[in-house]
Structure 1
Amino acid sequence: MNTDIENLFKDKVLGHPAGLFVLFFTEMWERFSYYGMRAILVIFLTGAITGSNPGWGWDTSAALSLLGTYALFVYLTPIVGGWLADNKIGYRMAVVIGALLMTLGHASMAIETPTFLYIGIALLIVGNGFFKPNMTSIISKMYAGKDDKKDGAYNIFYMGVNAGAFIGIMLCGWVGEKIGWSYGFGLAGIFMFLGMIQFYLAQPIFGNLGDKPKNENKGMIDTLAENSDNKESTKLNRFSTLDYTLIGVFIVSALIFIINDPLSKIGNIQSLNFTVAGMTDSLFFALLAAISFIVLLIVRIPRYTPIERDRMIAFTIFCLFTIFFWAAFEQAAGSLPIYTRDFTDRVLEGTAGSVFKIIDLLVTVVPMGIITYVLISLFKKTFNKIGLSNIVLGVSFLIVWAIIIYKLYVEFSDPKAEVPITWFAILNSLFIIAFAPLFTKLWDSKYNPPASVKYGLGLIIMAIGFGLLAFATKDIPLGAKTAKLSMFWLVLAYLFHTLGELCLSPMGLSYLSKLVPARMVAFMFGVYYLAIAIGNKLAHYIGGDIEKITEESGLSFFFLIFTIVPIALGLLSFALHPLLKRLMHGVK
């Protein structure tokens, strides 16, 4: 029996180990920082270079190219960070290193010069690689042998994720828009720093859990591999020369695209400067990377044993749907803030303004009140053991409450209400908190649909949100730069996008663990995150053309792209149900 794990379960908060809530708040501050920064990045970069709070006046395509490359690396670096934690430095040290690097990254961005912007984003990418995979790894170790409690633990943890995103977008967004962009970026850094200090000072509560791995772990892994029932199939499917060649072509082509795309759009640096069949060099290498990866799957997957082969094919199909889902969904970080700023009437007067202020007060204070209650519960159980950590956490909350009170005072003092551009981004987290329990009950009931239906529903429901925006913008003339459309359409769009996300997003990792052979789970986690990374980059690659498409075909046509394609893919997912059911060989 692991003594450290048993000790963790002695001090409980809301029925779970107090250590879980240390992780809850650490993750909450990290998500606060990540989503708070992301909420203002594109608006800042593309904002007018004049006025009381000037931006940098970048083209939309340049700003979204940078965002897309950043988002892509955010999902790829955890593969390296997870390996380093598993084999070299341990989970807890990886979290501390990641948090420190991200703190420096946010601080760098607050300086507001191009050089420090790029340095800051690089630090955020590397820091995220250390931080992101290892928080969940600590929870997995914490609940070893307690599988009946693990689902509840992850639900609590992901409430911290959404709480952090919610508060971060609201406060960093408001401070960035109403006070100054540097203050918004700096605020993200302050709470990342406080989260790091709080976690570091809470180390005693974890005992040896998440420490630097010992050498005997490797021997144990090797022994398990030798005794594995899958040893024969592993031998049968070693990487061939062709496999390595295709992997090399994929990596080189992808890196050329990833680097060349922002260079050409931001700095007009044409590092290659050629066209092939009408395609730019960036697009050519993106296509080459895609083709080489598809060919790799085609030549490699058939070499598995029949059942493994079929399940891998099913998982690959789900990954393809995942790419296109995120390519549409992640417009929320790129093109939708542009739409919100330029085409939405955000000024409310009279009764409408008063109603919004009351709604804003409730959605700000009520979640913070609930989280503060959790904080007090943690204090009662752990103050004797990790008092300094609790003090840092308490100071963090005092700062948040001070900003909230100041924000509400400023907003209620203004006779009219001007809704911040970033306010709409909080709706995703708000709707997740509201609807996630309903979806959890549905998936646990007899009405739980099969995987292909969930993916189809996710794509189609999300597409309805874009369809509403396409309808709302149908009368905007070609090339229009501004309009004053109702906020109602935007709220509905975010609602349907979130409902689609709840159908599809939680399914990916669940089906990965069921469909993929145990010896390949780590590798296929990388493939799954690669799919999300590609989806993020594709989202902002297409979204960067919102102004060009609006001028040539209309804003409504732009949103129709993200309506028609997901609906078609959703219907395809429904149609593939019989095939996918056979390929999954009984996996539910």
Structure 2
Amino acid sequence: MSSDAPVGARPPAGKTFFGHPRALSTLFLTEMWERFSFYGMRAILVLYLTAAVADGGLDLGDSSANAVYGTYNAMVYLMALPGGWVADRLIGARRSVLWGGAVIAAGHYVMAIPTGWSVFAGMALIVLGTGLLKPNISTMVGDLYERDSPRRDAGFSIFYMGINLGAFIAPLITGFLGEKINWHLGFGAAAVGMTFGVLQYVLGRRNLGDAGARPADPLLGADRRRALTRVGVATAILVAVLLVLLLAGWFTVDTVVNLLTVVTVLVTVGYFARILTDREISGTERSRMKAYVWLFLFAASFWLIYDQAGSVLNIFAADRTDRSVGGFTFPASWLQSVNPILIIIGAPLAAALWLKLGHRVSTPTKFAVGLVLNGLSFVLMAAAARAAVGGDLVSPLWLVAVYAIQVAGELSLSPVGLSATTKLAPVKYASQMLGLWFLATAVGDAIGGQVARLADTWSQPVYFLTFGLASVVLGLAAVMFTRQIRHLMAGIH
């Protein structure tokens, strides 16, 4: 193994999974069920928040519901940072994934309780559990390959297909149960899915060998006690702040959402500053991190638009599309399955394409393509919104076309970004760097949740066109900086 390979032993050779290490199948299926639970709940979350109380919902306005949705997504990915730290310094990636899955399942079961408070309590548990599971399972996938192997991008694309298989099935089940029968029954179906994921992970652990079994940089003795004390103090401060907000009468949905958005951005700035000023990383690693800052900004901008599929576009599907087929009105949340099924079709093609092209197309170029395509999807969405002006219902094929363009952009950026993160990561920050990659989604979703408020005050055609063109311009600008970013990447393609 080369000295700059990811920390963690590769599983033993033997049977393969589509030509890749057998351990990829265990991680593939675990992630599939985790994404089933996540996307199943997410598909109906905004619809539940905006539904009238008489219909079993919470009757929040669209603006607040969009902000809650964006902030919830942001917190899920923000917690990947401490989740990566726990794996790196305390318990290792393998146990982090197991514990995270159990906490996620508990959160979904809480959301299944038919009361208003259960949804927010359940979301808090899901946030904590996903923070443990999400970055560390991706780190374990990275451990299966040499750092600069061309097969690495292909392996992550296959793994990404597992993510989207769960995301495709979930809205069809939770959407029907939630919208047609009872919202909390839909949340309960997500709980069952995560339970399957945990059981599969436990049964398939023999495939993993020693991968993820030990912390990459364990804390011992006094250092461990000091770190745990700091965690305890930080938790106490957070609880105190929440109590002050509650006692002062400021504990409202909008206040909490705004506070968490600010926290997400500040944590991001602080974390990059910490890594870039760490004297223990080499000059080459520092240069690669400077390149990564650019990739991070591009990714955050991508997710700001892309993840509005579950909020602004989901509400558009519910209110502005004709969903009647043969006398049956299908749930709006079913359209959330379009994106993942297109990825399932496209992921193997993307994996084959990246393998064939090898190092001829650089990572920054792939990111630029993703940004341009993402922007074009919102330009098309502006046309759909224009067709719906005046209350007319439009064909859901508008949304299908929008999602198809977004999928092409996602396959150019997201699995490639996962792979690039594991390649550019300083050895000391192996699991934590995966947390940093997911923090790009957190920043994009947090700011996107605030931006989505504008959909209530601007006309929808103007809203979609403005942000769509902004993404296209950013993508074209990214092309201009490709050579400089590749230089900073110091030999990593």
Q: What TM-score does the superposition give when structure 1 sets the normalisation length?
A: 0.69
Residues 61-100 of structure 1: pairs in structure 2 closer than 5 A:
61-100=63-102
Between 1 and 2, higher relative CO (CA 8 Å, sep ≥ 6) is seen in: 2
Match of 2:309 in 1: 332
Counterpart selection for 1:424 from 299, 312, 335? 335
The residue that corresponds to 2:416 in the other structure is 507
Equivalent residue for 1:106? Answer: 108
Q: 1:319 aligns with which of 285, 293, 296?
A: 296
Partner residue in 1 for 2:228: none
Task: Assess, with a 3 A threshold, how the Cα gap between structure 1 residues 475 and 143 changes in structure 2: closer, same or farther.
Answer: closer
By how many angstroms is 1:537 displaced?
0.9
- CA-CA distance at 1:6 after TM superposition: 9.3
- Shift in Å, 1:97: 1.6
1:63: Cα distance to partner? 1.7
Change (3 A) 1:334 1:305: same
Larger Rg: 1
Q: How does 1:518-529 map to 2 (within 5 A)?
A: 518-522=427-431, 524-529=433-438
Match of 1:577 among 475, 478, 482: 482
Closer, same or farther: CA 265–490 of 1 in aligned 2, 3 Å:
farther
| 1:434 paired residue number | 345
What fraction of aligned residue pairs are identical, expressed as a percent? 33
Paired with 1:213 and 1:283, the residues of 2 have a C-alpha distance of: 29
**C-alpha contact (below 8 Å) 1:264/1:270 kept by paired residues:** no
Deviation string for 1:487-526 (max 9, x for gaps)?
2211110001111111122232333344454445555444
Asked whether the 8 Å contact 1:302–1:309 carries over to 2, the reply is no
Partner Cα distance (1:185, 1:141) in 2: 33
Partner in structure 1 of residue 226 of structure 2 = none
> Residues 421, 287 of structure 1: CA spacing in aligned structure 2 closer, same or farther, 3 A cutoff?
closer
Shift of 1:92: 3.4
2:26 maps to which residue?
22
The letter for the 2-side match of 1:136 is: S
Q: CA deviation at 1:544?
A: 3.1
Equivalent residue runs for 1:182-261 within 5 Å: 182-204=184-206, 206=208, 210-211=212-213
Alignment size in residue pairs: 466
Aligned twin of 2:129: 127
User: Residues 493 and 516 (structure 1 numbering): CA distance in 2 closer, same or farther, change over 3 Å?
Assistant: same
Match of 1:555 in 2: 460
Greater Cα offset, 169-178 or 129-138: 129-138
User: CA offsets per residue over residues 135-154 of structure 1, 9 Å max, x none?
Assistant: 23444556689968766654
Which residue identity lines up with residue 406 of structure 2 in the other structure? H
Deviations 1:142-177 (A, max 9, x none): 668996876665444332211111111221112212
Q: Quick check: 2:10–2:211 contact (8 Å CA) kept in 1?
A: no
One-letter code aligned to 1:91: A
The equivalent of 1:531 in structure 2 is 440
In the alignment, the residues of structure 2 paired with residue 576 and residue 347 of structure 1 have an alpha-carbon distance, to the nearest angstrom, of 47
5+ residue gaps in structure 1? 220-251, 272-279, 350-415
Residue number in structure 2 paired with 1:276: none
Which deviates more from structure 2 when the two are superposed, residues 159-168 or residues 146-155?
146-155
Of 409, 430, 443, 2:354 maps to 443
What pairs up with 1:265-414 in 2 under 5 angstroms? 267=252, 289=266, 296=273, 310-349=287-326
Q: Give SS of 2:457's match.
A: helix
> Is residue 2:386 matched to residue 1:474?
yes
C-alpha distance in structure 2 between counterparts of 1:135 and 1:80, whole Å: 14
Check if 1:453 corresponds to 2:365: yes
Measured at CA, do residues 548 and 29 of structure 1 come closer, stay the same or move farther in structure 2, by a change above 3 Å?
A: same
Asked if 2 retains the 8 angstrom alpha-carbon contact of 1:63 and 1:266, the reply is no
8 Å CA contact 1:342–1:483 kept in 2: the answer is no
Q: Is the 8 A contact 2:147 2:422 kept in 1?
A: no
Look up the equivalent residue of 2:103 and give its one-letter code: L
Query: What do the CA deviations read for 1:411-444 (whole angstroms, capped 9, x no partner)?
Result: xxxxx23232112111111111222233333333
In the superposition, the TM-score normalised over structure 2's length comes to: 0.80
The separation in 2 between residues aligned to 1:506 and 1:305, in whole angstroms, is 26
Mapped partners of 2:15, 2:423: distance in 1: 33
Residue 130 of structure 1: how far off its partner (Å): 2.0
Please tell me whether the aligned partners of residues 49 and 58 of structure 2 are also in contact (alpha carbons under 8 angstroms): yes
1:583 CA displacement? 3.9
Q: Evaluate the alpha carbon distance shift between residue 474 and residue 110 of structure 1 in structure 2; reply closer, same or farther with a 3 A threshold.
A: same
Map of 1:545 onto structure 2: 454
Secondary structure in 2 matching 1:449: coil
Which digits, 9 at most, give the CA deviation of each residue in 1:87-146, with x for residues without a partner?
Answer: 433433322221221111111111132321121011101111222233234445566899
Deviations, residues 533-559 of structure 1 (Å, cap 9, x unaligned): 10011112211332222xxxx110111
Which position in structure 1 is the counterpart of 2:233? Answer: none
Three-state SS of the structure 2 residue aligned to 1:37 is: helix
What is the CA–CA distance in structure 2 between the aligned matches of 1:189 and 1:516, rounded to whole Å?
34
